[in-house]
Amino acid sequence: MWEEKDMIPSHYADSCIFLELFSEKRGNKARLCRAYIYDIDKKYKVIISSLTLGEILKFLSGLEGDMERVMAFHKINDIIKNAEVTSPQFEDYKIAQELHNIDYKIEPSDALHVAIAINKKAKVFATLGERELAENGRIVDYCKKRDLTIESL
């Protein structure tokens, strides 16, 4: 039996979307991220990787103050508890290398995140500050051929 959740598209969410919640700045980016996170499980399922979790953990561990850090961990846990968590597979590294061959300037972590999104059949790679990724025609074309859209919030 199909559940409604199975019918909504999958998004691979980059760690910057989650990290923006803890930014000192309360501008438009933070609002966009809160709106994106609010729509998880309503408009799309979210996929994150162990790489994403590592980036989040590193950031949260650096927060000042024990209480602030504990509250941040609770907040992020509430957000990602329904996420599909995956880890890089050999196929992901192959695609990441192909992406590097297309554009040698792509960051290794960006290439691996995009590769995981492709292999997990996500419809959207959602990011925040990676305009250079979203505006890189060769990378965007490569992703489109694999049914992945890169969206910068």
- Residue range 73-82: average pLDDT? 90
Length of the chain: 153
Q: Taking the domains of the chain in order of start, what are their residue ranges?
A: 4-152
83: Cα separation from own chain's centroid: 11
Report the run of H or E that residue 124 belongs to, with start and end.
strand 124-127
- pLDDT above 90 as % of the chain: 71
Q: What is the DSSP string of 38-69?
A: HTBTTTBEEEEEHHHHHHHHHHHHT-SSHHHH
Q: Are 12 and 2 in contact (CB under 8 A)?
A: no
Whether 93 shows a pLDDT value over 90: the answer reads yes
Label residue 2 by pLDDT band (50, 70, 90).
very low
Indicate if the pLDDT at residue 141 is higher than 50.
yes
pLDDT of residue 1: 40
4-152: CATH number: 3.40.50.1010
Q: At what angle do helices 50-61 and 108-119 cross, to 10 degrees?
A: 140
CA separation for the pair 59, 94 (Å, rounded): 28
